[in-house]
Structure 1
């Protein structure tokens, strides 16, 4: 396994930034974890998803309404992932560890696995962001070429078109293939997975079985194979497209930088914090609706610098981060709207699809 390290001899940028952020919380007498606005979102999203699920099973309705509700369920489940699961798995939802652990299992209810995701996301992605060969989020080659160090194949000429379909089926592949692939191989790319306890193995299999029961067996027994298949496909397509796009807009855009493992021990030129701001981008920071729905993931720069701080604080922290970046002559990548970020992403994918 290759080893990657950062040139952390000069941490002045992050030291200054951390001091300023800590001062913000202490002077305003705030906790770094979630607050009422996060809890209120949870009380809207989780019961909302349950209500839609039960309505699809037990209330007669026209086929068009069923499809619309299935799409809505996919969108709500994605938002639960952004808001509840994401903060909980980072340990920032609550100051109580058991609350974070319990709500982190909401990922298992969505079909994933919290144990595998925490290692893949919290450790690999947040440490080695946009490092080809370490960051699993950009490890989709040869299906997609997401940075210039990855191998090019002729099909990539059209990837800016077909990636939409790939994003749409990504959650389905995640639930039914990728989790199992990582589980049985016990590694992510070339990095060995953390050792799983008997409880981790038990939760993995129990949650996968319960997912099949609640999302397949029960619906099929009540509404039949045909309506279930259509609704299940629509739900996953909306959820997958939403999840994939939001995470892609943070890192695979024109101004984001990438690194490549070049030897058995690769030393990245920049310190960790500087690497985060160079490889990450914000989008639609002024859009209240987007911020509410995506759980502050439109403030990705702030999230990558302070992943253990709840997303409810990111709009306020963004002013501190941007000012500190300017002081140290570092980029602060941000797109004013979600549309601008999406245009940049697809332009990037099209550019990466051209033969080197």
Structure 2
């Protein structure tokens, strides 16, 4: 299914989906489109999203100013660093993620600004769009193409080879999840930049001159704002420790939210047919088999995570803002029931987290 023709088009020639019977997807798309037409609303963000974005950015700036310019007591500084890291993750979930999918606003420039907020958080939106929008969203949980399930030192599904150390992954997972953000901004982005590859099995891709300039400008700015200025004002030790604490908090939030949506007991990791190189499901059914919701009844979780607890709806309709997911959720469930398609969901975040831990424990033992 050619959803994102501008990027990674070479993937499409390798693996495709069996879309001979598209009655389910056709019916669901029609119902969702009719919902927006009937209510005369845009499928992008609204004032609630804009207000939340202002709150998240304002609290992050306030946290930074307090930590760097006012030097609070150690116990308060540690707490603020943790909250600051979680705040950065929330900006990623609610602002950057929406902009990256062009669902933040009907205005293109607002989507661009919100998407490039990732660069100010240390990442690179150019890489993220290829790795996330194209590889992950098109080939969710497909080994070798969805790089989000390729976590070093972790065995995330049964088709990945089992190493001796995987037996202990139930004990060290939190360390890897915690350092994931720091590894991303300080190592993995540079690895992609110099190799030109989004993953080990991906082809090299030339990077436009504009993106070269943006990459180096924003990386230098990030390290200046998050490390150099704090070092000059509070010293090496406190600055580095604060950066590490905030980075671990941010990384843990980002990693856990992804794992609860795709790497739990019931989600599938389909392999293409050896002869046809096709996955024997239509694309939408594939998304439903590889993705799970959690805690959709919690308004607090939905607010903080930018609706990513409605991960099923997001994967089916990535260009629709998360503010509409609760309404879309009802349409998706009803259509799945009608066509006898499995809909995966955990009632609470705790249930989903327990399922993820059981999953990686079993994979380490098998």
* TM-score interval (norm. to shorter): over 0.9
The aligned residue for residue 109 of structure 2 is: 98
Q: Note if contact 1:133-1:261 (Cα within 8 Å) is conserved in structure 2.
A: no
The aligned residue for residue 186 of structure 2 is: 176
| 2:247 corresponds to which of 218, 236, 249 | 236
Q: Note if contact 2:71-2:77 (Cα within 8 Å) is conserved in structure 1.
A: no
Q: Given the two structures, how large is their TM-score scaled by the length of structure 1?
A: 0.97
The aligned residue for residue 157 of structure 1 is: 167
| 2:148 corresponds to which of 134, 137, 159 | 137
Measured in 1, the distance between the counterparts of 2:356 and 2:295 equals: 14
Q: Are 1:52 and 2:63 an aligned pair?
A: yes
Q: Secondary structure at the match of 2:15?
A: strand
Q: Are 1:258 and 2:273 an aligned pair?
A: no
Measured in 1, the distance between the counterparts of 2:308 and 2:332 equals: 15
Q: Note if contact 1:133-1:260 (Cα within 8 Å) is conserved in structure 2.
A: no
Q: Note if contact 1:119-1:194 (Cα within 8 Å) is conserved in structure 2.
A: no
Measured in 2, the distance between the counterparts of 1:26 and 1:193 equals: 42
Measured in 1, the distance between the counterparts of 2:206 and 2:339 equals: 40
Correspondence 1:15-164 to 2 at 5 A: 15-141=26-152, 143-164=153-174
The aligned residue for residue 7 of structure 2 is: none
Gaps of 5+ in 2: 1-9
Q: Are 1:287 and 2:264 an aligned pair?
A: no
Answer 1 or 2: higher relative contact order, Cα 8 Å, separation at least 6.
1
The aligned residue for residue 3 of structure 2 is: none
Q: CA deviation at 1:265?
A: 6.0
Q: Given the two structures, how large is their TM-score scaled by the length of structure 2?
A: 0.94
Say if 1:31 and 1:92 are closer, same or farther in 2 by CA, change over 3 A: same
| 1:297 corresponds to which of 308, 318, 342 | 308
CA RMSD between the two structures: 1.3
Q: Secondary structure at the match of 1:66?
A: helix
Measured in 1, the distance between the counterparts of 2:362 and 2:92 equals: 30
Measured in 1, the distance between the counterparts of 2:343 and 2:95 equals: 27
Q: Secondary structure at the match of 1:177?
A: helix
Correspondence 1:190-205 to 2 at 5 A: 190-192=201-203, 194-205=205-216
Q: CA deviation at 1:196?
A: 2.0
Measured in 2, the distance between the counterparts of 1:200 and 1:97 equals: 18
Q: Note if contact 2:32-2:328 (Cα within 8 Å) is conserved in structure 1.
A: yes
Q: Note if contact 2:196-2:207 (Cα within 8 Å) is conserved in structure 1.
A: no
